[in-house]
Structure 1
Amino acid sequence: MGTFPDLRKFGGADAFLRACKPRVAIELLSDKWSMLVLGALLFGPRRFGELRRMLDGITPKMLTRTLRSLERDGLLTRTVYPTVPMRVEYALTDLGESAAGMLAVITTWGAEHAEEILAARRAYDARPPAGETPVPA
């Protein structure tokens, strides 16, 4: 097996380096909740409560943190309507829509390979703990 080529000498990026620009996107989109929030917003603007109900398992604290992060990164907008009670909606920006589009590829891959992944996990979990491999008789 050879070494990974250093793409910088060819004018390319090396996502393994901390200062690599594509790494910013990789770190952002590798967060489970960020991808799911983006996917939920593909259906149109949503209020906080709607998102919380859609995203099974997310806590209010994590949803708040994720929404703030996505807004900071320019992937969604937060619109406050001056009503009583106050109404807040979250919607994807053009940048957010382009990022959410990748979710379709990941979803398709996941659907095609979920059983393989689950079978591999079961096989791994059924193995004896490391260092305790039985010796054949």
Structure 2
Amino acid sequence: TVAMLLLERGAAMDAPGEAGHTPLHFAAYQGHREVAALLVARGAAVGATEQDGATPLHIVAKKGHIAVATVLAPHGAAVGATMQGGSTPLHIAAMAGHDAVAAVLVARGAAVDVAAQDGRTPL
């Protein structure tokens, strides 16, 4: 793959771009499971945050990319990570109606009753 070629040629796998997006954030946005798995296997920072505090797991929760969620969750992605406003990935998945992603997060221990700064809980 192109990602493999770039990594083999020394591309910085955690280099942040505009707004703090890392290659893993981009893989999460696009739902590229294979690229996400490659990056995670090579040691990419699964907890890297964008300027608003969003991790790749927040992104897959918003986009509903269940295949990428199943790559990130067991490899150290913090299901309780909060972004600006205090939203966790479970808040985001619930608001977006992505039940399958929410189920993965709950199975990995996401708190179902934690409130964001505005008082909203995932439920």
Q: Which TM-score band (shorter chain)?
A: under 0.3
TM-score by length of 1: 0.22
Larger Rg over CA atoms: 1
TM-score by length of 2: 0.24
By percentage of residues, which structure has more helix? 1
